[in-house]
Amino acid sequence: MSITDSLQELSYLVQSAGATVVGMFFQKLDMPSPTHYIGKGKLAELISLREQTYYDTVIFNDELSPRQQRNLEETLGVKVIDRTTLILDIFAKKARTREGQIQVELAQHQYLLPRLVGQWSHLERLGGGIGTRGPGESQLESDRRLIHKRVSRIEREIENVKKHRTLYRRRRKEVGIPVAALVGYTNAGKSTLFNTLSNAGVIVEDKLFSTLDPVTRRLALPDGRQFLLTDTVGFIHKLPPSIVSAFRATLEELSEAELLLHIVDITHKNAANQCHTVEKILGELDLKNKLRITVFNKLDLALNNEAELEALNYQKSPSSFPYFKEQIPLPDERIALISAKKGWGIDKLLAKIACNLQ
Ligand SMILES: Nc1nc2c(ncn2[C@@H]2O[C@H](COP(=O)(O)OP(=O)(O)OP(=O)(O)O)[C@@H](O)[C@H]2O)c(=O)[nH]1
Ligand SMILES: [Mg+2]
């Protein structure tokens, strides 16, 4: 992904977190400065921009070390946040269920704990010599102890959630209903498709990470059989590992599914790139070899009507879309073309789900 596209995505994340973007900068360096991440000149530029835009927060599109963050806050005199903290913040805002909330909290603590050391080390230095346990260090100790305690409580609670989910899945298996799960880049249209198929009324927003908590509905296939469909959290480029590990309980739903529906926003400028990101995360979750249908969505933005979409199903050579450089492979039982919003191509998709859930 290009730097500007990545910054554009960051600005959507910022908007999803409820803030307004007043300026965007990037700098090419051989490697980030270990003290301030950016160079002196850029820092000066940022400081002068403050007089024009009155920004109160600076967000970096990367993970900052505790030292970089502290130095930047001191120099800029405003709050400094990194990409991971921002994503965790959005997750915290979107979590509705207890399960979602504790998973986010765990990720936040796990990210915060090593950072606390840096937060207090400048105070520790002041406390050297006589009485080595300076105020900073003892504060750090008690902060750490408190967080450790809280983390083990959350981990116990998550263990319970896992047990509960395992039991529920076992019961589901006994009943014999197959499970399919929606996966895909955030904002690809997973919840829109989920609603179109199930009338579930899940929140759909033109924001990143609208869905956090998994929802499952029982649906009917054209041949009369039933299956369960799960909608869950979307993926993103540079998804912080702390989130992936904290969300194991939720993501285990994916590993239990017989079939994954990978939803792709084919009209997105970075569609191909987003597909690679999803593939990479599926690989990290050990789900690469799971049975999968790739569902190209939002075709209403590229076509005039459902008949045109239908026609694409019968063409002899692969179609290409402006931004999807790799051409869409010819539709078969593992590739579907739809508009979740308009309901185009839904019958064919259901038929393909039925054919894969044999
Ligand atoms: N034009 C068009 N817009 C769509 C279509 N499907 C979804 N959208 C829009 O895309 C945006 C994101 O849709 P969601 O269904 O919330 O996407 P999601 O994949 O669930 O996103 P997260 O929950 O954030 O991961 C919304 O503004 C939808 O209205 C479609 O087929 N056509
Ligand atoms: Mg969603």
Query: Quick check: CB of 294 below 6 Å from ligand 1?
Result: no
- Tell me, in angstroms, the distance from the centre of ligand 1 to residue 330's CA: 24
pLDDT tens per residue, range 334-351:
899 999 999 999 999 999
Q: Are 68 and 34 in contact (CB under 8 A)?
A: yes
Ligand 1 pocket mutation pick from 91, 192, 262 by most atoms within 8 angstroms of CB: 192
Q: What is the pLDDT of residues 234-275, one digit of tens each?
A: 899 988 877 887 777 778 778 889 999 999 999 898 898 999
Q: Is the pLDDT of residue 326 over 70?
A: no
d(CA 166, CA 102): 18
Burial of 145 (0-12, 13-18, 19+ CB in 10 A): exposed
Residues 6+ apart with CB under 8 A from 168: none
Q: Measured from the CA of 211, which atom of ligand 1 is nearest?
A: 23
CA angle 162, 152, 284 (to 5 degrees): 50
Radius of gyration, CA atoms only, the chain? 23
Q: Which atom of ligand 1 is nearest to the CA of 186?
A: 25
Does the beta carbon of 340 lie inside 6 Å of ligand 1? Answer: yes
Given pLDDT bands bounded at 50, 70 and 90, which one contains residue 20? Answer: very high
- Give the pair of three-digit tokens for residue 80: 């400094």
Amino acid 317: pLDDT: 64
Identify the H or E element spanning 123: helix 98-126
Structure tokens at 5: 């596209």
* Eight-class DSSP state of 187: T
DSSP state of 25: -
What are 215's two structure tokens?
A: 């929802």
Whose Cα sits closest to atom 7 in ligand 1?
A: 189
Residue nearest to ligand 1 atom 9, measured at CA:
189
| 272 CA distance to ligand 1 middle (Å) | 17
**Chain position carrying tokens 């033109």:** 206
Would you give the distance in Å from CA 246 to the centre of its chain?
A: 13
Region 66-71 average pLDDT: 89
Query: What is the 265 CA–ligand 2 centroid distance (Å)?
Result: 13
Q: Near ion ligand 2, which residues have CB within 5 Å?
A: 190-191, 210-211
| Ligand of minimum distance to the alpha carbon of 234 | 1
pLDDT score recorded for residue 134: 46
> Which of 352-355's residues contact partners 24+ apart within 8 Å by CB, and which partners?
352/293, 353/180, 353/221, 353/227, 353/259, 353/261, 353/293, 354/221, 354/222, 354/223, 354/225
Answer whether residue 327 shows pLDDT above 50: yes
Give the percent of the chain with pLDDT over 90.
42
The answer to whether residue 152 scores a pLDDT higher than 80 is yes
pLDDT tens-digit readout, 163-212: 887 887 787 777 788 999 999 999 999 999 999 998 766 777 888 877 77
341 in contact with ligand 1, CB cutoff 6 A: yes
Choose the residue to mutate in 183, 187, 207 for probing ligand 1, maximizing ligand atoms within 8 Å of C-beta: 187
Which residue, 338, 336, 340, 344, is CA-closest to 306? 344
pLDDT digits (tens, 9 = 90+) for 78-93: 889 999 989 988 888 8
Fill in the DSSP letter of residue 299.
G
Residue 167 CA, ligand 2 centroid: distance in Å: 26
8 A C-beta contact, residue 82 and residue 116: no
Strand segments, DSSP code E, in the chain are: 57-60, 79-82, 179-184, 215-220, 226-231, 259-265, 291-297, 335-337
**Gap from CA of 125 to ligand 1 centroid (Å):** 51
Ligand 2 centroid vs 210 CA: distance in angstroms? 5
Question: What pLDDT does residue 120 have?
Answer: 47
Q: Is the CB of 16 under 6 A from ligand 1?
A: no
Task: Report the separation in Å between the CA atom of 195 and the middle of ligand 2, taken as the mean of its atom positions.
Answer: 10
Give the pLDDT confidence score for residue 66 in this predicted structure: 86
DSSP state string for 204-227? --SSTT---S-EEEEEE-TTS-EE
Q: Cβ(204) to ligand 1 under 6 A? A: yes
CA of 265 from ligand 1 middle (Å) equals 8
